[in-house]
Chains A and B, each alone.
Chain A
């Protein structure tokens, strides 16, 4: 193998590594969103949970000096934000779309405000205790793929594990069956004795916690700092990822890594100085998702009761 061949492999590895690293937060948030959407809750406020998770993790890690504590506080922050969303949609039976939009705007604003209030606007970057990289012995020495996939932060492994775990939970357990019933046909679920709103509360909180972990990956896992609006639309992207992954956790993981790769490609084209319009690559996943929604990429069907208030409201209500 020639020198350029080796170089190409190194580049490929680095590209894949970046794709996984960038795809992991999307995967975590999208898996959480998969869970809540399976229960009929469309959480447009996911972005709010991610950014609050990022700040929560940063503050937790700073306060304790432990990135692990940061992970926990990030998840709690994400869940707390989802809790506000849940209160509006489940207790007030408010519209999911409007509430979610507000939660996203509020989350972005609040974290920016808190960050500036706490750390000022001096321009120096906050330096945070970060999660260690776990290099899995054996697996990581597989050529090309090994270092890309198995020399990563623990949050990445969490995403790997979570996808099959969630698939098992949704499709192989009674709890998963109940969640899917609530998302498909809440009336029938209620008639079968399931507490519809309680189920929706739990899936929303769990989805928020996972989005919080996604935020933690951004701050204490990946960049080692916090910046306002560092979530950069990942909450919305995660919602697209769920659609592209057809609401199945394993496919959602794959779709998240695909989106992550699109972003990695951008960075690479930039570093390589290739001026071939990387922004267009960024648009590709969204276009694919639109095609998926249009039914051009095989059957793709959202849960029937997604984003519908329950109990049902009359018109004009």
Chain B
């Protein structure tokens, strides 16, 4: 770890990134983001905040590397099994009434939760009628997600998650093992589209019956959370569902009144008419 990043330097870093590259991190949670910057400087062998600023101003590949590093998020298949159980039991039966079911995974990271969703849809007999749009700010995440490759060592935990979520199939039917990798089987990937989308700057691009945005808001401050919920509201059909991470809240959100609660513990909400 290098020197601490002062408040002034932090503000200036954000300004450089915004002006030079058009990425706006100003309304990210400051404590988390500062920590990511510090960790990146350690990782990249940068010795001072001055050097960091200098390289960001002058080296675009260095910036790209930094964005990939600071926006990498840890994810799991069937993370929070109770959430998937509620989805399976309460939300999917409602979605089944639509001829085409459109789902948006906003901030899909490396795709583990996207494939979990595909498994749920497959088991409910809905995958053929379903289009899953999986987006992330981080190109590296998307490449990894699209490859469908997951570390085999994690599969034991994911299998346990899957069973806790009410899964009754043989989980190993969903991937093929290859050395130390598990590869998600192609039939699960048939209706998934991965592409880059920045929740801070990009707009509505379709209309959805379900939006999953789990453990993304924790990296945003209250003001940005409100703006993104507005974007989600506009991207949902009437009575469309919004799912957040189980520790995320709509409580501080200006748009709160436009949603009803479906399941508070698992943070599933529904757009009012």
Q: Do A and B come from one complex?
A: no
Question: Which chain B residues have a beta carbon within 8 Å of chain A's beta carbons?
Answer: none
Question: Which chain A residues have a beta carbon within 8 Å of chain B's beta carbons?
Answer: none
